Structure 1
């Protein structure tokens, strides 16, 4: 079979069937052959949904018309009047309950007081029937202790002994039982223990020097002057007195405070010029306080009292005071914040600090001290510091500078 005849037979077979294999020849009809390049992806048609029934059914002779819909009723309005009445009734009942509980507590308290009174007079049948409890046990113990004390006092009276408590013991008991004083003392102990360091004042003096600030050139107003600390102290002559008792006897007093050996040299630079300038004035005086606030060092100061007595002239020993307890609150209220430095104060008759200085005295501070003293004492102004006072000030400052150089 020639190729031409084979092609003719394939064409005839292809016309009959689109695809036919005829003796190894594959023939496809041209209508069924499509190129993959232009082949379209057609989706099958979607099935049609049945038509929706009409919204209103058609009126037919066999069907009845639908009944009309009933209107929606609104919700009922709240009855506010009944609500307020119920709230008022509930509030009234709560108030009545509180009042009844208060009356019951008052009645129980009054009954307890009556029971205590009866217990002081003696046990009764009602007390014996009282239910055991914590308060009942306390009442019984107090009653027993009161009865024992009364029996002890009666025994002392029968023996002719005095049952009177001494004033010192009574004062100690009152101080021990004073709640306000105990709370105040506790607060001060807490401040000393947790808020203040032992070396704070020494660190401040080392950081800022012996002069924290310069002394003022004018006296303070009376209403702006703090009160001088007034601890009960003992003089070098052995008498007990305080600062106010001494300053009330003179017009103006130079009151100095020293809390350490360094402060002793500081106050000397104020005392010597003051005594040199007013040696002939009987209405002026110098009051010195040697205070030891550390309870460990207090016995040492007591042992050194004879040495201190030898270094102080006899005419000034009655105004030299020794104190062995802390006065931190009083001295800080008066402006004396550092216990390492020495402090000098001009105090009037009422105990008010009108002028204050600290550390080693400077020349202009000595001039201000003497001028303010003359003003407060009502003395005539002399213009400048006398030669005697100036020489005493220079000697005092030289003595203060000598230990530093050493």
Structure 2
């Protein structure tokens, strides 16, 4: 675990978030993060257990409250179950999961059993049992990350960093890199 940064990760130092394939909770359609997140500021949480949901919620509450009405902002949750048996059990409980996830988030709530073994270390996801929250820019780069339970200053930093990215996106392309498609979204 680490303490989340107070400011954005520089764009030239930021890694791309990998393509994660999952099934959306609302209509069970296949969704790829590279297509769902491109062109928008995405607050993305990776969940695997009930406690990881609480971890993510502690980070995202303030940012969601401040930015949920912005058309360039979305919140995506990935319920990542790499164990096939656990993935099957989660798929059996879809109706109860739909009752707990608010309707406005069901289209961006993904169920995935993708193997992340080689992506965990670059993403800082070394503990499978805690929740991770990432702030992705419109080019799919990880500009902020946090894990575990948020300290008050960490959740405030996430809300502020989200505002900065949204302001930059709303003001138009500030550099040649913001107006082009991502170079390599599958590379972590």
TM-score, normalising length from structure 1? 0.40
> What is the aligned partner in structure 1 of residue 36 from structure 2?
246
Instruction: Confirm or deny: 8 A CA contact 1:255 1:344 kept in the other structure.
Output: yes
> What is the aligned partner in structure 2 of residue 342 from structure 1?
131
Question: By how many angstroms is 1:325 displaced?
Answer: 3.3
Residue 147 of structure 2 is aligned with which of 344, 351, 358? 358
Instruction: Confirm or deny: 8 A CA contact 1:229 1:334 kept in the other structure.
Output: no
Instruction: Confirm or deny: 8 A CA contact 2:60 2:155 kept in the other structure.
Output: no
> What is the aligned partner in structure 1 of residue 55 from structure 2?
266
Question: By how many angstroms is 1:369 displaced?
Answer: 0.7
Q: Distance in 1 between matches of 2:68 and 2:140?
A: 22
1:334-363 Cα distance to aligned partner (Å, 9 max, x none): 222211110000001111100000011111
Q: Distance in 1 between matches of 2:32 and 2:15?
A: 17
Instruction: Confirm or deny: 8 A CA contact 1:229 1:331 kept in the other structure.
Output: no
2:8 matches 1:219: yes
Question: By how many angstroms is 1:326 displaced?
Answer: 2.3
Question: After the TM superposition, which segments of 4 or more aligned residues of structure 1 sit over 3 Å from their partners?
Answer: none
Residue 376 of structure 1 is aligned with which of 156, 162, 165? 165
Question: By how many angstroms is 1:249 displaced?
Answer: 4.0
Q: Distance in 2 between matches of 1:365 and 1:230?
A: 26
Structure 2 residues without counterparts, runs of 5 or longer = 169-188
Q: Distance in 1 between matches of 2:127 and 2:66?
A: 28
Higher strand share goes to which structure? 2
CA RMSD of aligned residues (A): 1.4
Higher relative contact order (CA 8 A, sep 6+): 2
